Amino acid sequence: MIKDFRVRLKDFIVVNLEKKIYPEEIEEFYTKAGPVKEMCVFTVSGMAGAKGSKVLWAVIQPDLDEFRKFASVNLHLAVKERFDNASPSLPIHKRLKGFTVTLDDLPHNLFGKLDRYAVKKIYEPRVRAGIEGALPVSGKLSVDDRLLIEGATGINILKCLKEISGIKRPIILEDSLELDLGIDSLGRIELASCLELAFKVNIKDEAISQAFSVKDLILGITDALKGAKEITSEIQAVPLEPGYWKKHLQVLPKEEHLGALEFGTGFFGWLLRFSVAALDYFIFKLFFRIKVEGAQNVPKDGAYILYPNHSSDLDGPAITACLPRRPVFQLFYFLFIPYFFRPYVKSLALRNIIKMVRFIPFDYSTHFLEALRSAYLVLQRGKGLCFFPEGLRSTTGEIGKFKRGFGILAKEAGAKLVPVAIEGAYEAWPSTAKYPNLHPIMVRFGKPLLPEDLEKEGLAMGAKDSYEAICVAARKALIELKDK
């Protein structure tokens, strides 16, 4: 009886509000919300230099089979979005302050149960230091692992990883491409080009998109090289040199993506866009009392990119409700719609609707390059494009860091950039809420900006390259517009 009572005492943790929290309860809740294989919740002390503070943290081992099933490579981003959407269902003191993603198995005791003390001992110092990914590896490599690294294939792959990541330290098999080497979706595209040049063959997307660690990548590439076809087009293996992205974007999208672009003025397409715009305007006027400023700043002709802040599912429809008549029928939308690419989405009607309302769907794994090529083609045809440079929705309402893909597209297409500040959409329907609130929304269009001017400004602000410079300066312009 006494023994059971002592065990029960150890089953809860206490945070700053002096409220007891049972970690198993939190783990069960968040595991249902996201693709998690196993997780451990504990408190971390001294975050942000506050010695007496305690925050609720988790170490997460993601379910990689689930990520591979859906061709998703952004581990931290995908888990964060699921957790942010689920968190409002919990009391504030039970919500995670943050989490660490690791590909390593979590420690267990002799009875196979999660060893919370061992997890806390290993990971708490890493959390304070902001370290994710692989744990330090001690001991000698196995014979098989040594063959992977020292073989000709492994040596070439490690060279490419060094070039793309810029990592100076030795790269180990346990390194995560995303968490340890910082190779994001665009980095994987560059990595594919580097590997194709190194091996002089076309490498299937799956060999790179389904790799989460260096070991995964070497095994995947080794398998992909068996029977791989030699490169027949220089464009397919673009060297990593000035003009790399320009050459990549100038390649026409694959047939399935090219066929999803609607440039014509067919009656049914026009009628659908008119109906959507009219219904959109009616809903936002009636329920959100939407107001607009600077609509005259939207170009009537020629290529341009509208780039709004993104904190709500209402952002895109709010822009549609405020656009002048001509641009509303000509505008394409670059949208994160990963489910559009799933094998089970084979509805011809759905695909035709997506096409006629001029959505360019993308995900952050195997279809990102094709979507960028589609967006580039749209701009080359002199059309308008709505592009959310933050990527996913902000969970705080603040304007986040712009993704590099926005800078690449803006510079290489040479299109005018129109900042769009949306106010009230976060309050009306934040990403963490299930249902919208009836809150007023304001959409403010700024004056068109030239990418070359933003590039100069961004470089003067300390950006490391032209693409980052455009992102930094364009974000500054959007923040200033929103603060007016």
List per-residue pLDDT tens for the chain, 484 residues long.
334 333 333 455 665 556 788 999 999 999 998 889 999 999 988 765 555 578 899 999 999 988 877 667 788 888 988 898 888 888 888 999 899 999 999 999 998 999 999 999 999 999 988 888 888 877 788 888 999 999 999 999 999 999 999 999 999 999 999 999 999 889 999 999 899 889 988 888 788 988 999 999 999 999 999 877 776 554 455 666 778 999 989 999 988 889 889 998 788 888 999 999 999 999 999 999 999 999 999 999 899 999 999 999 999 999 999 999 888 888 999 988 766 666 545 677 878 888 999 999 887 766 788 999 999 999 999 999 999 999 888 878 899 999 999 999 999 999 999 999 999 999 999 877 778 999 999 999 999 999 999 999 999 999 999 999 999 999 999 999 999 8
- What's the CATH number for 2-129? 3.30.300.30
The fold of the 143-240 domain, in CATH, is: 1.10.1200
Nearest to 440 by CA among 277, 309, 306, 314: 314
Torsion of CA 364, 368, 372, 373, to 10 degrees: 180
pLDDT at residue 62 in the model: 94
Do the strands 416-423 and 98-101 form a parallel or antiparallel pair, or are they unpaired? unpaired
Query: What's the pLDDT at 78?
Result: 84
Sole residue written with tokens 């609130």: 437
- Burial group, residue 265, by CB count within 10 angstroms (0-12, 13-18, 19+): exposed
Tell me the whole-structure pTM to 2 decimals. Answer: 0.85
- What phi and psi, each to the nearest 5 degrees, are found at residue 438? -85, 85
- pLDDT (0 to 100) of residue 235: 44
Residue among 94, 101, 86, 83 nearest 37 (CA): 101
Which uninterrupted H or E stretch holds 305?
Answer: strand 304-308
CB 407 within 8 A of CB 355: no
pLDDT at position 277: 94
Main-chain dihedrals φ then ψ at residue 213, nearest 5 degrees: -120, 170
Q: How far apart are CA 237 and CA 250, in angstroms?
A: 13
Give the other-Cβ count within 10 Å of 399's Cβ. Answer: 19
Structure confidence by residue, pLDDT tens digits, 117-146: 999 999 999 998 888 888 887 778 888 899
> Domain boundaries in the chain?
2-129, 143-240, 255-482
Q: pLDDT tens digits, residue range 40-91?
A: 999 988 765 555 578 899 999 999 988 877 667 788 888 988 898 888 888 8
3-state secondary structure of 436: coil
Span 255-482: which CATH code?
Answer: 3.40.1130.10
Q: What is the pLDDT of residue 5?
A: 36
Phi/psi of residue 86, each to 5°?
A: -85, -30
Q: Across all residues in the chain, what is the average pLDDT?
A: 88
Structure-block tokens of residue 462: 């300390």
Which residues, at least 6 apart from 258, have a Cβ–Cβ distance to it below 8 Å? 252, 374, 377
What are the structure tokens assigned to 394, written together?
Answer: 């902000």
Evaluate whether 323 touches 298 at the Cβ level (below 8 Å).
Answer: yes
- Which two tokens mark 149? 């690294």
Q: Is residue 438 packed enough to be buried (19+ CB in 10 Å), middle (13-18) or exposed (0-12)?
A: exposed
Rounded CA gap, 144 and 419, in Å?
Answer: 53
143-150 vs 214-224: helix crossing angle, rounded to 10: 70
Sheet with 384-387: strands ordered across: 291-293, 442-445, 416-423, 304-308, 384-387, 331-336, 359-362
Alpha helix segments (H runs only) across 101-184: 116-129, 143-150, 152-165
